[in-house]
Amino acid sequence: MTPARTGSTAIGIDIGGTKVSGGVVDAGGRIRVRTRRDTPDRSHTPAVVEDTIVEVVDDLLGQAVDAGLPAPQSVGVGAAGFVAADRATVVFAPHLSWRNEPLRQSLGERVDLPITIDNDANAALWAEHRFGAARDVTHAVMITLGTGIGGAVLIEGHLLRGRYGIAGEFGHMQVVPGGQRCECGNRGCWEQYSSGNALVREARTLALANSPMATDLLARVGGDLGQLTGPMITDAARSGDPIARELLGEIGHWLGVGIANLAAAIDPEVFVIGGGVSAAGDMLLGPAQDTFARQLTGRGYRPAARIVEATLGPDAGLVGAATLGAESVREVAS
């Protein structure tokens, strides 16, 4: 890997379902200045989303000058969606209007810097590999638990993107034949059992059944189940609410089921768990580790991968996108 130039900076953009986060990142993975905007919803045209990205880039360039930072040399974009193997085209983004969108070309016509596009989970894993929980590891899997499940794979120190660029969509592995209907159109997908949506769905099911176990959760939202969120359930669990802890334990169990399946297929050294739901910490990871240990193929006769929490938190995608962009520029230059 070509070493970073001393004092160099790059812009990273992380595009999620609700916000576009941006920052100027130095060679050590530190965010020196940052900004954010709301993500235009999928009713808007691709041009509106690109307007938002350009606005973020312009803001960051101005902030870098004001802060006396070295001028950013590249822009890396991490997008929540399917990014083609050319790392230029967003094939499909579920929360945006992108369908076979030539994003690198569109942005390149408006931003006078080299641009790199990648999947947001790939960017997050790269950040954890360079600066976080998977540092000095050559074989790793990143699992991002949010509204759904995203993922990425590191093999021999390189991101595995697949022939068509869509590797790592673990959330749509089938774990329960004929199970819960998924937004992707199939049934029984992993993210229907281990995600923020699954956590909230199960809590609402209890409340709608008038279970006395859901009394505390209902009180937290004034009886309005539409206001119930994953972070609220996690907060209730931290406060000792037994049903909230039980629900997180179930999510953790299904997380362990999926990890055991992935270990059989990929055999990594470490699984890095990120995304908003991972904030539950040991209440989630403890049950996941227990299930993983029980279901790992060849258990007792093979090394078992470690399961660890991501260390860069919500900044991982931004830092990884910037780092991938900067390294792409250096590779071209060399």
Q: What is the pLDDT of residues 25-58, one digit of tens each?
A: 999 999 999 999 998 876 667 888 899 999 999 9
284 and 191 share one domain: yes
Instruction: Name the residue with tokens 């209440």.
Output: 283
Query: Which stretches in the chain have pLDDT values below 70?
Result: 1-6, 42-44
> Is 223 part of a structural domain of the chain?
yes
118 and 169 within one domain:
no
Looking at the structure, do residues 276 and 318 belong to the same domain, yes or no? no
Torsional class of 204: left (φ above 0), alpha (ψ -120 to 50), beta (otherwise): alpha
- Residues 37 and 103 both lie in one domain: yes
Interval 206-223: pLDDT, tens: 999 989 989 999 999 999
Residues 57 and 206 grouped into a single domain: no
Query: Do residues 29 and 94 both lie within one domain?
Result: yes
Closest CA to 125 of 136, 141, 137, 139: 141
Same-domain status, 262 and 295: yes
Q: Do 140 and 194 fall into the same domain?
A: yes
**Considering the chain, what is the average pLDDT of its residues?**
93
Q: Is residue 188 part of a domain?
A: yes
pTM of the full structure: 0.91
Do 319 and 296 share a structural domain?
A: no
4 found inside a domain:
no
pLDDT score recorded for residue 2: 39
Query: What pLDDT is recorded for position 43?
Result: 61
Q: Residue 2: inside a domain, yes or no? A: no
Same domain assignment for residues 122 and 186: no
152 and 285, same domain (yes or no): yes
Q: Are residues 241 and 324 in the same domain?
A: no
Q: Does residue 180 form part of some domain?
A: yes
Q: How many domains does the chain divide into? A: 2
Structure tokens, 18: 């609700």
Residue 96 lies in domain: 9-130+314-333
Q: What is the CATH number of the domain that holds 299?
A: 3.30.420.40
